[in-house]
A = this chain, B = another copy of it.
Amino acid sequence: MDQSVLMSEKARNDADDTPEFGQLDGIVGFHIRLAHGAVYRHFTETFTGLDLTQKQVSVLWLVGENPGVAQIELGGRLRMDRATTMTIINRLQARGYLRRERSSSDGRKQALHLTPEGEAALEQAKNSIAEHEAWLKGRFTPQEVEKLVEMLERIHE
């Protein structure tokens, strides 16, 4: 049924078949977006049981490693503005994974802490992350992973 063997590549590409990237293929930002999409997709597939997004896990992770951290500091690290940080914190608090405390040293700040449930969820999340990272790192040698991370850091400062 597939008569493509009888047609030249050019003819197939011209009209009705799958499009080529063409010049778009040389755009670095384009590849970053596609790679991010692929990672995001695999992440959500890996996290079917635990219902957490990348952002939520990052927040739990950072709160776990920095108990008492303020929202503004979290947002600064994860490059989120205050409003975005709020919605994520609200969601995690509503699910009982973390709690707010007024900072004793600065009354404007909220000190964030994990609840026991939050710690358990983070622990479980780290296992899924390990699996997810293995999938991702499997394409590269250790040297390449190091180089990739270093270059990505140059982008996000």
Contacts and interface: CB of A to CB of B under 8 A. Distances in A.
Contact of A34 (B21, B28, B106, B156): B156
A156 to B, nearest CB: 4
6 contacts: A16-B105, A29-B132, A31-B148, A32-B35, A35-B36, A36-B36
B28 A148 contact: yes
Contacts of A67: 14-15
Copies of this protein in the complex: 2
A121 to B, nearest CB: 16
Given A65-B19, A155-B35, A28 B133 contact: yes
Contacts of A43: 29
